[in-house]
Amino acid sequence: TLRMRGPALLILLICFRGRAGPSPHFLQQPEDLVVLLGEEARLPCALGAYRGLVQWTKSGLALGGQRDLPGWSRYWISGNAAKGQHDLHIRPVELEDEASYECQATQAGLRSRPAQLHVLVPPEAPQVLGGPSVSLVAGIPANLTCRSRGDARPTPELLWFRDGVRLDGITFHQTLLKEGTPESVESTLTLTPSSHDDGATLVCRAWSQALPAGRDTAITLSLQYPPEVTLSAEPHTVQEGEKVTFLCHATAQPPVTGYRWAKGGSPVLGARGPRLEVVADASFLTEPVSCEVSNAVGSANRTTALDVLFGPILQAKPEPVSVDAGEDASFICAWRGNPLPRVIWTRRGGAQVLGSGPTLRLRSVGPEDAGDYVCRAEPGLSGLGGGAAEARLTVNAPPVVTALHSSPAFLRGPARLQCLVFASPAPDAVVWSWDEGFLEAGSRGRFLVETFPAPEGHEGQGPGLISVLHISGTQESDFSRSFNCSARNRLGEGGARASLGRRASASFPEQKNLMRIPGSSDGSSSRGPEEEEMGSGEDRGPIVHTDHSDLVLEEEGALQTKDPTNGYYKVRGVSVSLSLGEAPGGGLFLPPTSPLGPPETPTFYDFNPHLGIVPPCRLYRARAGYLTTPHPRAFTSYIKPTSFGPPDLAPGTPHLPYAAFPTPSHPRLQTHV
């Protein structure tokens, strides 16, 4: 029974003692440690309330319980054991010491947390292949290789520096042994050297955590490079005919072996060495001089152009421009010269400067802007060169119609009304209309319409037309009604109102038979006068009318003209002579022969074969030709022409008095580039 009570008493004693004081515990445990190869490592361990055996283990292997750790010459335990201090020391640290360590209180059954010891190995000085002096060729990409060997831990990083500044463009790689440990590491620097790199010093540095300062290896660059050339001219600015000297200076490694001169890409025969003398002309401004220098590595070329002074020369004439009203118009005129000529723009016949420079831009043009524009270059410093070039601006706009009032007519006699049309583009149609109808061309009843080219209009405003409405056997209603002359093109319509004046001194008896020329568009002659004067066309819509009563065709035939458009057009009148016969009776008033008809076409038409009556009047002669057809077909239709030219005139035809309207004097603000 005593033997059975002994263990129980021991247990009670231990429990009693546990209640009497604290249990054993760690005051300090070891932590992971990094140490350099050859240095001392210290792993701390402190226990409280423990007086028993303390030992260290290395990767699970017990090192022993004595303080000097027999069998481990570089290991020992330090500290005051009575105070629970049991620190493990290792000196010097070797690679084999890299392991996991624990501090254990054996009798208390306590074990510290594992502490990992890491051993760092500093890298050796790197090696640069080809060093310490590396020969390179300027301009050719090259690779510099830096290599580090050994058992450095961790693997070092190889960096490149120049003048203390880290360089970019580095490629890094490493080579491993079969066991998986690095045998060597390499770093490659890619660069394209220049001649300025000759003699430069580059540093390859092996850096790791084991050696924060790193280890450096320096190399020197030795550069070979082709010639570096500078080309100068003395003097650089010259007048034509002056002498110029070119100097070609070069530095090279290895030395220069030859010079080659060229002008405009063509070799200068007989030129040798670094000096060239020439006599300057204008070609040197566009054909520069070049000097090419060579050595064993390569060659280099430099080019320079002389500043040769000469007067303005026209390179590109301005082109005619045609735009719609409201659009912008631009002209371009190029002059060449040195110094660059000053180019100004004016309107022909005017002195106002509209702009300067090679481009003239007119914003939102109107018909009043049509005309010829001149670009003028002033002579150079030598007084030579210069000149002018011009181009026409055509402004497309709706037609402008002006009524030309003819001489008064007798009742039941022939009469004529005229209107003048200017339009660009040319009108699609010119139409006469009155109360009962309208007529565009040809004849209908008592009415005949003819359209023919008019004298040239204002510059840039396109061709002009004259439309004539002939009336055979006037009636009372003809003198009280208004006749409208209208024209249209793709941009709109324009019109004018004309009225027929009456002569009270004589009258013609009423005709029972209407006069008709064979070939007329209306073959019927059985209708009465009232039926004949009525048109059957459909309504053409509203027409804008203008009453230009300031254009009067006097009895003598001289067209007295004012300016109905305030400078819109230059209008030349048409001189027409008309002499009425004394014999009473009606008659058809016919135009002269067409200038487009065959030669020897009669000027007058004979009514007797067709009408059986004596013509009541002498037919007129016109300065400008009418587009009429020769007998027997006297009526023609107007066809929109592609262009108009001046009419052909018979010899001896008297010249007409033309009146030119002045150009508007109000200024236009122009925009130029």
Delineate the domains of the chain, giving CATH numbers in brackets: 25-120 (2.60.40.10), 122-305 (2.60.40.10), 311-395 (2.60.40.10), 405-499 (2.60.40.10)
Task: Quote the mean pLDDT of the chain.
Answer: 74
Helix (H, G, I), strand (E, B) or coil at 428: coil
Q: E-assigned strands of 296-385? A: 299-304, 307-316, 321-324, 329-332, 334-338, 343-347, 355-356, 359-362, 371-377
Q: Which residue bears the tokens 């390499």?
A: 186
Give the model confidence (pLDDT) of 334-349 as tens digits: 998 888 888 999 999 8
Mean pLDDT, residues 189-218: 90
The pLDDT, as a whole number, for residue 195 is 84
| pLDDT at position 443 | 87
Q: What was the pLDDT predicted at 382?
A: 63
Residue 157 pLDDT more than 90?
Answer: no
- CA-to-CA dists, residue 470 to 29, 151, 418, 467, 535, angstroms: 132, 121, 9, 10, 14
Q: What pLDDT does 418 receive?
A: 93
Write out the H or E segment, with its range, that includes residue 64.
Answer: none
Q: Give the span between the Cα atoms of 296 and 255, in whole angstroms.
A: 8
> What local confidence, expressed as pLDDT, does residue 359 receive?
94
Rounded to 5 degrees, what are φ and ψ at 498? -125, 150
Q: Report the amino acid identity of residue 73.
A: S
Q: In angstroms, rounded to a whole number, what is the distance separating the alpha carbons of residues 369 and 355?
A: 14
Helix (H) or strand (E) holding 406: none
Query: What pLDDT digit, counting tens, does each position of 585-626 carry?
Result: 333 333 433 333 344 433 333 333 333 333 333 333 333 333
Q: What is the mean pLDDT of residues 432-444?
A: 87
Instruction: Kindly state the average pLDDT of the residues 433-461.
Output: 81
**Of 164-178, 215-229, 331-345, 402-416, which gets the smallest average pLDDT?**
164-178
pLDDT value of residue 151 = 78
Mean pLDDT confidence for 15-19: 46
Stretch among 14-28, 104-118, 314-328, 549-563 having the lowest mean pLDDT: 549-563
Specify whether the CB–CB gap between 455 and 624 falls below 8 A. yes
pLDDT of residue 277: 94
* In the predicted structure, residue 405 carries a pLDDT above the cut 90: no
Alpha-carbon gap, residue 460 to 310, rounded angstroms? 36
- Structure tokens that stand for 596 in this block: 């487009």
For CA atoms 447, 448, 454, 458, give the dihedral sign. positive
Residue 469 to residue 576: CA distance in whole angstroms? 15
Cα–Cα distances in angstroms (integers) from residue 589 to residues 326, 407, 439, 615, 661, in the given order:
43, 13, 17, 9, 31
538-579 pLDDT tens trace: 333 333 333 433 333 333 333 333 443 333 333 333 333 333
Which residue(s) pair with 206 in the sheet?
158, 215
**133-137 vs 211-234, strand pairing mode:** parallel
Q: If you average pLDDT over residues 506-515, what whole number do you get?
A: 44
pLDDT of residue 200: 92
- Arithmetic mean of pLDDT, 28-38: 93
CA distance 200 to 218: 10
Q: How confident is the model at residue 180 (pLDDT cuts 50, 70, 90)?
A: low
**127-131, 240-244, 376-380: lowest mean pLDDT where?**
376-380
Gyration radius of the chain's alpha carbons: 57
User: What local confidence, expressed as pLDDT, does residue 303 receive?
Assistant: 95
The reported pLDDT for the residue numbered 219 is 93
Token pair recorded at residue 522: 């209306």
Task: Find the mean pLDDT for residues 252-273.
Answer: 92
**Model pTM?**
0.40
Which residue stretches of 32-141 are H helix?
Answer: none
CB atoms inside a 10 Å sphere around CB 62: 12
- Evaluate the CA torsion angle 622, 624, 630, 636 in order and state its sign: negative
Residue 518: pLDDT over 70: no
Q: What percent of the chain has pLDDT over 70?
A: 68
- Is a pLDDT exceeding 60 seen at residue 507? no
Closest to 120 in 3D by CA, of 179, 208, 184, 186: 208
Least confident of 3-12, 154-163, 271-280, 555-564: 555-564
DSSP 571-608: -----B--EE-SS-S---------TTSPTT--SS---H
Asked if omega into 339 is within 30° of 0 (cis), the reply is: yes
- Provide DSSP, 213-273: EEEEEEEEEEEEEEEEEEEEEESSEEETT-EEEEEEEEEEES-EEEEEEEETTEE-TT--T
Residue 546 gets which letter from DSSP? B
Name which of 191-200, 268-277, 600-609 the model is least confident about. 600-609
Tell me which amino acid residue 482 is: S
The per-residue pLDDT for 459 is 57
Which residues face 110 on adjacent strands? Answer: 105
pLDDT at residue 658 tops 80: no
